[in-house]
Amino acid sequence: MNAKIVLLPGDGIGPEVVNEARLVLDAVAKLFGHTFEYSTHLLGGCAIDATGTALPEATLKACQASHAVLLGAVGGPKWDDPQAKVRPEQGLLAIRKGLGLYANLRPVKVIPSLAKLSPLKPERLAGVDFIVIRELTGGLYFGQPKGRTKTATGEQAVDTLIYTDVEIRRIVRLGFQIARCRRKQLTSIDKANVLESSRLWRQIAIEVSKEFPDVKLDHQLVDSAAMRLITHAAQFDVIVTENMFGDILTDEAAVLAGSLGLLPSASLGEGKLGLYEPIHGSAPDIAGKGIANPTGTILSAAMLLRHSLGLEAEARAIEAAVSAAIDEGCHTGDLGAAKPINTSQMGDAVRARLKR
């Protein structure tokens, strides 16, 4: 097949890890007889420096005209001034919203040979394999009113947690659909004992569950779910939750896998177009050194093949090559190696193990 892929390397280690993932995609294209056409665009801090805005119009247009988008990371100390009017993260939020990508899929799996990297006891990690579906374009991140106002005595700030039934229904439904293809257990996470928006969320989850009698739905409050993610992680199959809860819980969940550098994500909307990125950030402390772990981005490229291009065999080929490389001891510094390999060696190790 022929596909147009937009690359958004972004800031920090973004360009280094995206480059490796692109080389993996090239290797897949050669092996399976596809043609991937790439174009590279600005997003985040580099876009602010070049154009004054974190999401230039040209970037959004190119993404809209593509089949899929592969993103590195945005942000860094250079743009971190809390007084700044434009911030790299605004680019990320605007591109999610601009492309209508309301569903963020974050799979978490513990690779047995890496279980020792996690601060948790190995018995807590056995069999951990779940996916978090985070609502991505609603809730506190986008709700209006939002902002600061002066008061008689000082200042106040407001963010609004708002969800419509339509927004809840489409994300919960996706949760059920994904659960149906896995172990058929959906956990909806909310704070229905306090928040009205969560009570609507729970009501709709129960309504939608009638369409999926084969999937078992349970509800957990976000505070106890945060605890159970550590104490009983293996019990989760599919989790669906609102934007902010999902943001927090997925960083927590990443601890299970042992390194943030390993985990991919996909952001999807109504059509096939999706945005794929590792869940780690721009890691300014190691940027430019060529030592970042490209695995999260390479696995994001596998998700891109699966969800946007419908290339399941190709996606699996990447995932198998990554597992083989890691199991055979190809480890970057974050994986606790005594003699770590660098970013491009890790990419090479994956490419060398790609098989049809």
Residues engaged in binding ligand IPM (CB under 6 A): 89, 92-93, 247
The active-site residue out of 26, 129, 159, 251 is: 251
Output 26 or 89, the one with its CB closest to ligand IPM. 89
| Contact call for residues 94 and 267 (beta carbons, < 8 A) | no
Respond yes or no: is residue 214 known to be catalytic.
Answer: no
Catalytic option among 141, 190, 237, 348: 141
CB 205 within 8 A of CB 217: yes
Q: Is 116 a catalytic residue?
A: no
SS3 330: coil
**Nearest CB to ligand IPM, comparing residues 28 and 139:** 139
Task: State which H helix or E strand residue 81 sits in.
Answer: none
- What does 89 interact with, of Mg ion, ligand IPM, none (CB < 5 to 8 A by kind)? ligand IPM
Pick the binder of Mg ion from 38, 247, 284, 342 (CB under 5 A). 247
Q: What is the CA radius of gyration of the chain?
A: 20
- Of the candidate spans 188-196, 242-250, 267-275, 291-299, the one that interacts with Mg ion by CB under 5 A turns out to be 242-250
Q: Residue 70, class by beta-carbon neighbours within 10 Å (0-12 exposed, 13-18 middle, 19+ buried)?
A: buried
Q: How far is the CB of 5 from ligand IPM (least distance, A)?
A: 20
* 141 is an active site residue: yes
With a CB cutoff of 8 Å and minimum separation 6, the contacts of 325 are 346, 349, 350, 352, 353
Minimum CB distance to ligand IPM smaller for 31 or for 60: 60
Distance in Å, CB of 248 to Mg ion, minimum: 8
Element (H, E) at 4: strand 2-10
Pairing label, strands 274-278, 264-268? antiparallel
* Comparison of 129 and 247: residue with beta carbon closer to ligand IPM: 247
Among the listed residues 163, 191, 237, 276, the single catalytic one is: 191
| Partner in contact with 92, chosen from ligand IPM, Mg ion, none, beta carbon below 5 to 8 Å by kind | ligand IPM
Q: What is the C-alpha to C-alpha distance for residues 356 and 348, in angstroms, rounded to an integer?
A: 17
Q: In the numeric block, which tokens belong to residue 312?
A: 């399941």
- For 85, 152, 154, 157, the CA distances from 149, given in Å and listed in that order, are 16, 10, 9, 6
Q: What are phi and psi of 43, to 5 degrees?
A: -155, 140
**Segment near Mg ion (CB under 5 A); pick from 43-51, 134-142, 233-241, 244-252:** 244-252
Which residue lies nearer to ligand IPM by CB, 92 or 302?
A: 92
Nearest CA-CA partner of 244 in 349, 160, 157 = 160
Nearest residue by C-beta to ligand IPM?
Answer: 89
Burial of 230 (0-12, 13-18, 19+ CB in 10 A): middle
3-state class (DSSP) for residue 5: strand
List, in sequence order, every residue forming a beta bridge with 7; answer none if it has no partner: 40, 70
190 catalytic per annotation: no
251 as an active site residue: the answer is yes
Residue 27 DSSP symbol: H
Token pair for residue 248? Answer: 């927090």
Distance of closest approach, residue 251 Cβ to Mg ion, in angstroms: 5
Note the Cα 214 to chain centre separation in Å: 27
Question: Closest separation between CB of residue 276 and ligand IPM, Å?
Answer: 12
Binding residues for Mg ion restricted to 283-302, rule: CB under 5 A = none
The candidate with the shortest Cα–Cα distance to 72, out of 244, 246, 288, 319, is 288
Q: Least CB distance from residue 57 to ligand IPM, whole Å?
A: 20
From ligand IPM, Mg ion, none, interface partner of 252 (C-beta below 5 to 8 A by class): none
Catalytic hit among 30, 223, 272, 289:
223
By beta-carbon proximity to Mg ion, the closer residue of 25 and 103 is 103
Q: What does 26 interact with, of Mg ion, ligand IPM, none (CB < 5 to 8 A by kind)? A: none
In whole angstroms, how close is the CB of 325 to ligand IPM at the nearest point? 26
Q: Which is nearer to ligand IPM, 189 or 217 (CB)?
A: 189
Q: Minimum distance from CB of 18 to Mg ion (Å)?
A: 19
Active-site residues, by number, are: 141, 191, 223, 247, 251
Binding site for Mg ion (CB under 5 A): 247
